[in-house]
């Protein structure tokens, strides 16, 4: 296999937090990252004829085959795609690549319409926002993964971390290609840590001690948003999912695909065994999960939040929040406010994605050149101080009901899909993505994007990609510990959700009673009672939105009637 597989030990990548929380029958339920094993699982084999990738030549009329890229726009993204298109067309003179990026606002509606518009010229899109309308209308990349790539020394799947891709093993389908990575970590001010004399904590108890010492030294230990958005899709929501996952790992034994289930694969599920010490044990390429069995377990109380583990998690949370995150001001702090506190050197730690490392680097360069640093709301952050930034992984919780070491949110992103057309055209689209996902193509894409202020969120999943030395150095110290969002272990962390998306009313209830608990107005038993009542109130709505009916629960071995 070509390339040094530097990510073999970690990835298994939400959808974005909203995407990864979804649930589909007989799959891990959400986009999740997988650890690439020493021997990469092969994609379905193809015929000898199919092994030759089709590269279009001008037809008799001189017309070129056109491939249109219409992913979401962003700073530097158009320049990056244009560079790839130019290089690809030089190698393939019979192809015209059109870069027609679309605004982020309204993209979901636009891409859903593209999938339902006859004769559309659109090809490559961000398919994660297309929803159910893309079913049966998108190119299946698995049909090409074993093809020899003209842009590397091996097959297409050997160019990148194939095991990090989300696949539907029951349907033998992969419609989304994700080549970027995002990891949630704790960022910290190294200068404050050195001044106080503390080291990055490895356990929650150590985390509490570090917070105590930092606060005693006159700094706010944690800068973090405590508003509703944080509890829903931001940092507090991340922590809720990450630590709920520590308590639910054994539930996979309940809702894994069992022999006779419509999604059971004897070559996968027949050889799988539960191992909580392996953070990649429940990755989608290792075991199938049956969504009907998930909801059956929720409905009959087998899968519940009324556990010793959840009591341990939230008792521990209350030892940190809000005391070490600004006290009473925690609940009034939004995301931009937390960034300001961190950048001003007033707070020592902040949970974030590893993309913050690059953003921080760019912001400090701006500061040194006399420019202003702004938040996501474009408001200038006053009093920014330059400091050395570092990262550490989630401190693991220990105690009653904790079943496995902590994981985090580590997701593969990008979600490149394409609208299915005729075979020759589909072959050409696949060939373009073969180049895009090669060492040459992805290095060109990233270097051009970076030159034009594109933010890189994390290490690339394409092997041997060349990044500028200073950016690569920012990622070199990252270590990966597994993804908590790949399946259903975090499903009850913040209330209820279905595969069609979040149930906002359920998440608002979660915020309300968790606010009361962290404020000291109710105890842990009252919190558990209200959380379970929340789940009970919305579990049927979540089930129905996932295409599962009450009658399906009587025969979980059958494919849901609504899917």
- Provide the pLDDT confidence category of residue 377 given band limits of 50, 70 and 90: confident
Q: Residue 97: inside a domain, yes or no?
A: yes
Alpha-carbon distance of 538 to 67, in angstroms, equals: 44
The arithmetic mean of pLDDT across residues 55-65, rounded, is 58
pLDDT in tens, 150-168: 999 999 999 999 988 988 7
pLDDT in tens, 296-336: 999 999 999 999 999 999 999 999 999 999 999 999 999 99
The arithmetic mean of pLDDT across residues 538-554, rounded, is 93
pLDDT in tens, 110-147: 999 999 999 999 999 999 999 878 989 999 999 999 99
Q: Residue 254: inside a domain, yes or no?
A: no
Q: Residue 370: inside a domain, yes or no?
A: no
Q: Residue 562: inside a domain, yes or no?
A: no
Global pTM value: 0.82
Residue-number span of the structural domain to which 84 is assigned: 37-160+414-456
Q: Given this model, what pLDDT does residue 563 score? A: 65
The total number of structural domains that make up the chain: 1
The arithmetic mean of pLDDT across residues 189-216, rounded, is 99
Q: Residue 449: inside a domain, yes or no?
A: yes
Mean per-residue pLDDT of the chain: 89
pLDDT in tens, 220-229: 999 999 999 9
- 3-state SS of 158-226 is HHECHHHCCCECCCCECCCECCEEEEEEEEEEHHHHHHHCCCCCCEHHHHHHHHHHHHHCCCEEECCCC
Q: Given this model, what pLDDT does residue 499 score? A: 65
pLDDT in tens, 433-480: 999 999 999 999 999 999 998 989 889 999 999 888 888 888 988 998
- C-alpha separations of 449 from 82, 103, 134, 411 in Å: 10, 17, 29, 21
pLDDT in tens, 331-347: 999 999 999 999 999 99
Alpha-carbon distance of 517 to 511, in angstroms, equals: 10
Identify the CATH number of the domain in which residue 156 sits: 3.40.190.10
**Both structure tokens of 419:** 């609208």
């Amino acid at each position: 296999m070509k390339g040094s597989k530097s990510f073999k030990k970690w990835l298994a990548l939400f959808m974005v937090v909203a995407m990864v929380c979804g649930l589909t029958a007989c799959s891990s339920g959400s986009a999740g990252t997988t650890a690439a094993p020493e021997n990469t699982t092969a994609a379905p084999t193809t015929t000898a004829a199919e092994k030759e990738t089709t590269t279009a030549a001008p037809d008799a009329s001189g017309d070129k085959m056109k491939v249109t890229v219409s992913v979401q726009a962003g700073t530097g993204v158009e320049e990056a795609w244009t560079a790839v298109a130019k290089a690809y067309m030089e190698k393939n003179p019979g192809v015209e690549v059109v870069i027609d990026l679309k605004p982020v606002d309204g993209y979901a509606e636009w891409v859903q319409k593209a999938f339902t518009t006859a004769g559309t010229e659109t090809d490559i899109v961000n398919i994660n926002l297309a929803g159910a309308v893309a079913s049966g209308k998108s190119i299946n990349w698995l049909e090409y993964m074993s093809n020899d790539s003209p842009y590397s020394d091996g097959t297409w799947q050997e160019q990148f971390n194939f095991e990090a891709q989300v696949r539907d093993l029951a349907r033998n389908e992969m419609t989304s290609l994700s080549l970027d990575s995002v990891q949630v970590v704790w960022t910290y001010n190294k200068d404050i840590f050195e001044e106080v004399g503390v080291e990055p904590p490895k356990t929650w108890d150590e985390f509490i001690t570090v917070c105590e010492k930092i606060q005693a030294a006159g700094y706010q230990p944690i800068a973090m948003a405590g508003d509703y958005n944080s509890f829903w899709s931001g940092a507090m929501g991340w922590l809720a999912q990450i630590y709920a996952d520590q308590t639910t790992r054994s539930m996979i034994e309940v809702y894994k695909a069992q022999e006779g289930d419509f999604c059971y694969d004897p070559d996968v599920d027949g050889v799988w065994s539960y191992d909580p010490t392996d953070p990649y044990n429940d990755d989608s390429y290792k075991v199938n999960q049956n969504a009907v069995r998930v909801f059956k377990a929720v409905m009959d109380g087998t899968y519940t939040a009324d556990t010793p583990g959840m009591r341990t998690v939230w008792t521990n949370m209350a030892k940190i929040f809000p005391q070490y995150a600004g006290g009473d001001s925690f609940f009034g702090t939004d995301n931009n406010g937390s960034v300001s506190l961190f950048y001003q050197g007033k707070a020592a730690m902040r949970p974030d994605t590893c993309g913050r490392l690059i953003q921080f680097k760019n912001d400090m360069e701006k500061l040194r050149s006399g420019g202003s640093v702004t938040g996501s709301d474009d408001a200038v952050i006053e009093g920014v101080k330059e400091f050395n930034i570092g990262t550490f992984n989630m401190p693991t919780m220990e105690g009653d009901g904790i079943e496995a070491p902590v994981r985090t949110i580590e997701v593969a992103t990008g979600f490149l899909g394409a609208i299915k057309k005729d075979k020759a055209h589909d072959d050409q689209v696949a060939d373009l993505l073969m180049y895009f996902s090669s060492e040459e193509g992805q290095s060109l894409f990233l270097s051009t994007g970076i030159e034009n202020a594109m933010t890189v969120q994390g290490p690339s999943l394409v092997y041997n990609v060349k990044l500028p030395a200073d950016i690569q150095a920012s990622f070199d110290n990252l270590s990966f510990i597994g993804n908590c969002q790949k399946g259903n272990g975090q499903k009850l962390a913040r209330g209820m959700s279905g595969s069609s998306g979040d149930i906002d009313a359920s998440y608002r209830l979660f915020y309300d009673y968790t606010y009361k608990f962290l404020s000291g107005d109710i105890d842990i038993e009252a919190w558990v009672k209200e959380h379970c009542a929340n789940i009970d109130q919305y579990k049927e709505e979540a089930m129905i939105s996932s295409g599962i009916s009450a009658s399906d629960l009587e025969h979980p071995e059958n494919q849901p009637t609504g899917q």
